[in-house]
Structure 1
């Protein structure tokens, strides 16, 4: 039943061949292969972002803000249309956005609101239940594929909450987060866009003239990249046929993509993560990989009476956008003046193994994570998988490519991502944002871990299939505990 419902939900409204010729061919832009992938029932992915606000936003104020920003974006003001010729090549066709179809203020009983005012944990649970229930309320394919649900209920961190749902075919997570931030303004200056931390650049030694050592260095670097790519490409292809992760209590079963997810989140200290980063001489992402490895080790050890088996294979599938993400300023200009900033899903995959094991020294989780990530940095795996997917689509067809992609993702244990957020407080539609908690559902995995920085906080968000992981708050506790013990060990060691 759910399979049939998913297929029905994903199928865009057909139009007559004559209308298609006049509209889709002249106005519509074809969907990218990645966007078409997210139309398939096995990958009917929706990005869900829970936004905590400092004050209530009225419906008219919310619609006015969206009309001036997001509703002007080409993807958020277009529908996916397929003609009747059977070609199955959908296009983006512009349409008029009726915000009444997208902005939803559900009725919340006075008893629930009063209970949440007395005990914000009631509000937290209500938001969790409401967000999980969105799975059973599919987006209408005759409208642009997004909506925003505003919940006027107090939670433990915010005065009220909004749940932003966007179909993944509209863009990748980082591009969509950049687009959302382009709709916000600093609360200290509502004329200014938010600023993001500068990306870390690898230092390059200054070279004057030609040197044999420089040539040898270039050759050696190329060989390292080529070897790592060869190894990672082999493991990637093997994952489509026989190489699967160890069956543990976090790995999903068949059909997990057709089941609802529960979203839970916790706020961590970004300053603590930075202290570890500076002491270990690594990146924030390295720290998060190490902390997650320690937390998964602690969580899974309970299944083995406190003694983890050796050589557990626990991997994550990472989506990497091949196309550089437009900057916030470029996206703001796109919505304001209709500029031609590049947009769309152009993604490759990477498989990253978490060092899940028992370590006497908590810092070993960071060290081992750094070593794994470093090999991925010195590899063209994402480019290889992106180009390979295009070749497979062209040679074998889109259905074969979808099956192979599904086999690879379902052979891994979880999804993982880390998204950078603003360094200063921002407001959306006139209300200050307290937190940003993004996640996703509709993919063939039972566990997704997202990290999102904002101000001096790091929000960790879990999306879980409760049939597989019935205790997601315990895993949040393990992540918080792992960060604390690593921080304490840093204080002792350095």
Structure 2
């Protein structure tokens, strides 16, 4: 969250140059040019002047959003730094003139966002921009589209920063509240302590074993272990293809109902419905391929046995002097994996973006060497599922959204039907 201390720090270091962090250099490495796209659906038309005034007072004062990247050195040794600069909002806020009677507004917005990603951001300016689209879609009165280079921060920190530009709709002076993980209790007795000691040893040994297995699998994936070719596996160079971005909003209460009934976490549930949705989608795609090949035999499952389809979440753990070597290694590993899943916790109540009530927030990324990225974003009592896909590999991403949504409905129904929890109307 942005605070007064952050603002003071940015003013005092106005002329300072800050070296790129290892993570920032990672996302600036060749063939790993990753961007964050955050689509904001508003319940009212967007007043451009009000948004500009709000950005001047908040986002523009943040050191990273008012810094550009400079490159020093020669072709053998390049040193990249953030340096403070004067921000001209006209260079960052794009407001196209739109026909209010566009026939298919949802498709127009999807195509607009895809076209935005065809052009890289200008390195002579801070690496972010905001497109304001005053066009009514099926789920919003207007749409804002943030594009931010991933080198400016990780997804969670950037979404938190954007949330700092919002206020509770019920209280225009209050920042949004985000769930905080509760710590475990401190109850202790000698008997419990005895078993806790052996449990801790067992967990430690399992951690060592799992770490060794993970390291071996990562090395194998980097060298030779590839996922099978499937209808959702991209070919080499997929990161260079123009992506399509779609989203679907489901009930967060349904996800929490399943979580509580099965004694799981939200991450467990969204991973489960993603897996179930992908199974439905792949089963249909394989069935269609069999029909094209003249194999009309009906089967409950058309997915090949022993399929290897993996997903990944990247986390930067520590600084590394040799990050450009690390980027090449990780990029090679990611190229052998099918997809990625990520998620960010959002505000617990309805919020407004400079006075514009928000209906949904749908962030995702592009630039990974994968044809599919699934992102989950919670907001009040909603969960938005965002897909970033290569349309040459996944030509029907809305169908995949349908499959994930239907999987949640089926799992919720099964939980209620088996009596794990009472249905909530």
- Confirm or deny a common fold (TM above 0.5): yes
Provide the C-alpha distance between the structure 1 equivalents of 2:87 and 2:145, rounded to a whole number of angstroms.
Answer: 19
Q: Note the C-alpha offset of 1:65.
A: 0.5
Provide the C-alpha distance between the structure 2 equivalents of 1:66 and 1:178, rounded to a whole number of angstroms.
Answer: 15
Structure 1 residues 293 and 210, CA, compared in 2 at 3 Å: closer, same or farther? Answer: closer
Structure 1 residues 204 and 291, CA, compared in 2 at 3 Å: closer, same or farther? Answer: farther
Provide the C-alpha distance between the structure 2 equivalents of 1:308 and 1:106, rounded to a whole number of angstroms.
Answer: 45
2:345 alignment partner in structure 1: 420
Provide the C-alpha distance between the structure 2 equivalents of 1:249 and 1:202, rounded to a whole number of angstroms.
Answer: 44
Root mean square deviation, CA, Å: 1.9
**Per-residue deviation, residues 369-393 of structure 1 (Å, max 9, x unmatched):** xxxxxxxxxxxxxx5xx57xx2xx5
Structure 1 residues 430 and 136, CA, compared in 2 at 3 Å: closer, same or farther? Answer: same
Aligned with residue 259 of structure 2, among 261, 277, 285: 277
Mapping for residues 440-451 of structure 1, pairs under 5 Å: 440-451=365-376
1:455 alignment partner in structure 2: 380
Provide the C-alpha distance between the structure 2 equivalents of 1:207 and 1:226, rounded to a whole number of angstroms.
Answer: 28
Q: Note the C-alpha offset of 1:314.
A: 1.6
Q: Is the 8 A contact 1:57 1:430 kept in 2?
A: no
Provide the C-alpha distance between the structure 1 equivalents of 2:286 and 2:46, rounded to a whole number of angstroms.
Answer: 49
1:93 alignment partner in structure 2: 83
1:232 alignment partner in structure 2: 214
**Per-residue deviation, residues 314-372 of structure 1 (Å, max 9, x unmatched):** 2112023xxxxxxxxxxxxxxxxxxxxxxxxxx1xxxxxxxxxxxxxxxxxxxxxxxxx
Q: Describe the SS at the equivalent of 2:101.
A: helix
2:63 alignment partner in structure 1: 74
Q: Note the C-alpha offset of 1:47.
A: 0.2
Q: Note the C-alpha offset of 1:242.
A: 1.0
**Per-residue deviation, residues 435-467 of structure 1 (Å, max 9, x unmatched):** 000011111000010111111111101111011
Provide the C-alpha distance between the structure 2 equivalents of 1:92 and 1:454, rounded to a whole number of angstroms.
Answer: 32
Q: Note the C-alpha offset of 1:54.
A: 1.4
Provide the C-alpha distance between the structure 1 equivalents of 2:329 and 2:96, rounded to a whole number of angstroms.
Answer: 40
1:46 alignment partner in structure 2: 35
Q: Describe the SS at the equivalent of 2:79.
A: coil
Please state if 1:408 is matched with 2:347.
Answer: no
Q: Note the C-alpha offset of 1:303.
A: 3.4
Q: Which has a greater percent of helix?
A: 1
1:119 alignment partner in structure 2: none
Provide the C-alpha distance between the structure 1 equivalents of 2:305 and 2:183, rounded to a whole number of angstroms.
Answer: 36
TM-score norm. by structure 2 comes to 0.88
TM-score norm. by structure 1 comes to 0.76
2:313 alignment partner in structure 1: 318
Q: Describe the SS at the equivalent of 1:459.
A: strand
Q: Is the 8 A contact 2:39 2:363 kept in 1?
A: yes
Q: Is the 8 A contact 2:25 2:324 kept in 1?
A: no
**Structure 1 segments (4+ residues) deviating >3 Å:** 200-205, 207-215
1:333 alignment partner in structure 2: none
Please state if 1:114 is matched with 2:97.
Answer: no
Q: Describe the SS at the equivalent of 2:256.
A: helix
Provide the C-alpha distance between the structure 2 equivalents of 1:205 and 1:443, rounded to a whole number of angstroms.
Answer: 45
2:110 alignment partner in structure 1: 128
Structure 1 residues 262 and 235, CA, compared in 2 at 3 Å: closer, same or farther? Answer: same
Please state if 1:164 is matched with 2:164.
Answer: no
Q: Note the C-alpha offset of 1:58.
A: 2.3
Provide the C-alpha distance between the structure 1 equivalents of 2:85 and 2:255, rounded to a whole number of angstroms.
Answer: 45
Does 194-203 or 445-454 show the bigger shift? 194-203
Q: Describe the SS at the equivalent of 2:145.
A: strand
Please state if 1:488 is matched with 2:403.
Answer: no
Provide the C-alpha distance between the structure 2 equivalents of 1:159 and 1:274, rounded to a whole number of angstroms.
Answer: 28
Q: Note the C-alpha offset of 1:214.
A: 4.0
Provide the C-alpha distance between the structure 1 equivalents of 2:325 and 2:347, rounded to a whole number of angstroms.
Answer: 40
Aligned with residue 155 of structure 1, among 109, 134, 137: 137
1:14 alignment partner in structure 2: none
Q: Note the C-alpha offset of 1:210.
A: 11
Please state if 1:64 is matched with 2:46.
Answer: no
Q: Is the 8 A contact 2:343 2:377 kept in 1?
A: yes
Aligned with residue 121 of structure 2, among 119, 134, 139: 139
2:354 alignment partner in structure 1: 429
Q: Is the 8 A contact 1:437 1:460 kept in 2?
A: yes
Provide the C-alpha distance between the structure 1 equivalents of 2:212 and 2:184, rounded to a whole number of angstroms.
Answer: 23
For structure 1, the residue ranges without an aligned partner over 5 or more in a row are 1-23, 117-121, 321-346, 348-382
